[in-house]
Amino acid sequence: MSAIRSKKFDYIFTGGGCGALSLLIRMIQSGKFADKKILLIDKEPKTTNDRTWCFWENGNGLFEEIVYRKWPVVNFYSDTFSAPLEIAPYQYKMIRGIDFYNYCFEIIRKQQNIETTYGTVRFEDSKVLVDDVVLETNGSVVFNSLYTLPPKENGIILLQQHFKGWIIETEKPSFNVEQATLMDFRVHQDYGTTFCYLLPLSETKALVEYTLFSENLLSPAQYNDGLERYIHDVLKIEAYKIIDEEAGCIPMTNAKFNFFEKDRYNIGTAGGQTKASSGYTFQFIQKNSEKILEQLQSGQQLSQLEKPKRRFHFYDTILLRILKEEKLRGEAIFSQLFERNKARQVLKFLDNETSLAEELKIISSLPTMPFLKAAIRK
Ligand SMILES: Cc1cc2nc3c(=O)[nH]c(=O)nc-3n(C[C@H](O)[C@H](O)[C@H](O)COP(=O)(O)OP(=O)(O)OC[C@H]3O[C@@H](n4cnc5c(N)ncnc54)[C@H](O)[C@@H]3O)c2cc1C
């Protein structure tokens, strides 16, 4: 652990990624925590563009000035339904990891009351150890974003959203910068639910991601093959060069994540902010950070933080079960969702923001039997 000046802290962040920085920046900007000592711990400094976040948003969020690209229209493609989808009042946005980290740390470095240290955190019950040194946490609020996989218990479904992406550059103009592709199912489904994203950065540059919702990861060659075939067979691009790449794996699970656990408050993916049925996390983290900030400012107990609505967990579990047991293909579910509902309603539903009446309408647009059976089992 690199040296730290203070012995005691009011707030300690174990993990300094999206969840921690989203909350910390809000705390700084509120101006209400300038007299509090805050420690941010990560295993390493953020020096690379380790991920790209995409999400939809209505209006401008806290990180609007670092939005790298945004698109008013998203495309959906499958064998049964293909269309450009108007998503107003939302826009589909992209933030590059490195821009996010640089933006946050530029603000954090100016705060005298915040220290950043690097080392490996581990927990022994309520104790926090950094590089095997026990940290003084008496009287501190600990926000944790270190994630561990849930134990394989009865009823727990664990799928992965795993993907590999390339930023490719073409010689000739090949992309429409006004439209991103949210899901393109025109790829083989031999390994489970598989689709591609296409995020144009310019007429000659785009991020292409080959994505699966399944239990098992693929070999590196299989992701590369999926990307090559999509670019060649579907996008019909012959000549291109790969200028960057990213890969990742996001847990899709119905396991419940406790906000308060063993004297610490879990945030980010560790705090259940990853939507189980889609893998989207960035906007859930932003909304949760707002709620935590309000709670801190109002002086109310953090443990009283409003819990997420349980029915969305129920819907996610049903969808995960159907995907896991392959009762219905992901392609069929998403095609019907987008074909039979307004895209903005689907996005609102995936944001857990619809009313019960809106949900019933959406659910009734899906094939009834597999959903009913999975619901009865749940
Ligand atoms: C490649 C990739 C692309 C993604 N794209 C999207 C997207 O487009 N849209 C979306 O909504 N979501 C996306 N996600 C999912 C989600 O938004 C991110 O994973 C997000 O970063 C989660 O925030 P977090 O704070 O929970 O975790 P992280 O941002 O990963 O932060 C956890 C931090 O803890 C640190 N850490 C881990 N272990 C230790 C340890 N033992 N000791 C000290 N520090 C430790 C890590 O270095 C990291 O900085 C993506 C995820 C990945 C991996």
Share of the chain above pLDDT 90, in %: 80
> In this structure, are 124 and 19 located in the same domain?
yes
Distance of CA 164 from the midpoint of ligand 1 (Å): 16
> In this structure, are 140 and 165 located in the same domain?
no
Distance of CA 146 from the midpoint of ligand 1 (Å): 9
- Identify whether the C-beta of residue 214 lies closer than 8 Å to the C-beta of residue 160: yes
pLDDT value for 120: 96
Would the CB of 18 count as within 6 Å of ligand 1? yes
SS3 content of the chain, % helix, strand, coil (to 5): 30, 30, 40
Helix (H, G, I), strand (E, B) or coil at 151: coil
Would the CB of 246 count as within 6 Å of ligand 1? yes
pLDDT value for 51: 94
The atom of ligand 1 lying closest to the CA of 122 is: 41
Say how many C-beta atoms besides its own lie within 10 A of residue 48's C-beta: 10
- Peptide bond preceding 370: is omega within 30 degrees of 0, i.e. cis? no
The atom of ligand 1 lying closest to the CA of 54 is: 8
Q: What is the pLDDT of residues 13-56, one digit of tens each?
A: 999 999 999 999 999 999 999 999 999 999 999 999 999 999 99
* Domain of residue 356, residue span: 310-377
Q: What is the pLDDT of residues 308-324, one digit of tens each?
A: 888 999 999 999 988 88
Would the CB of 280 count as within 6 Å of ligand 1? yes
Closest residue by Cα to atom 28, ligand 1, is 17
Mean pLDDT over all residues of the chain? 93
Would the CB of 21 count as within 6 Å of ligand 1? no
Q: Is residue 43 part of a domain?
A: yes
Task: Please say if the pLDDT value at position 248 is more than 60.
Answer: yes
Share of the chain above pLDDT 70, in %: 97
SS (H, E, C) 211-242: EEEECCCCCHHHHHHHHHHHHHHHCCCCCEEE
Task: Please say if the pLDDT value at position 257 is more than 80.
Answer: yes
β-strands 133-134, 179-184: how paired? Answer: unpaired
Q: Is residue 165 part of a domain?
A: yes
Q: What are phi and psi of 189, to 5 degrees?
A: -110, 25
- Name the residue of 281, 350, 351 whose CB sits within 8 Å of the most ligand 1 atoms, as the mutation to test its pocket: 281
pLDDT value for 149: 81
Distance of CA 18 from the midpoint of ligand 1 (Å): 6
pLDDT value for 377: 61
Distance of CA 119 from the midpoint of ligand 1 (Å): 17
Confidence band, pLDDT 50/70/90 cuts, at residue 368: low
pLDDT value for 285: 98
> In this structure, are 129 and 240 located in the same domain?
no
Q: What is the pLDDT of residues 131-171, one digit of tens each?
A: 989 998 989 999 999 998 877 777 889 999 999 999 999 99
Q: Is residue 16 part of a domain?
A: yes
Q: Is residue 5 part of a domain?
A: no
> In this structure, are 147 and 102 located in the same domain?
yes
> In this structure, are 243 and 287 located in the same domain?
no
Q: What is the pLDDT of residues 66-99, one digit of tens each?
A: 999 999 999 999 999 999 999 999 999 999 999 9
pLDDT average, residue stretch 224-234:
97
Q: State the total domains in the chain.
A: 3
Confidence band, pLDDT 50/70/90 cuts, at residue 125: confident
Cα 342–343–344 angle (5° rounding)? 90
Q: Is residue 3 part of a domain?
A: no
- Name the residue of 14, 21, 53 whose CB sits within 8 Å of the most ligand 1 atoms, as the mutation to test its pocket: 53
Q: Is residue 362 part of a domain?
A: yes
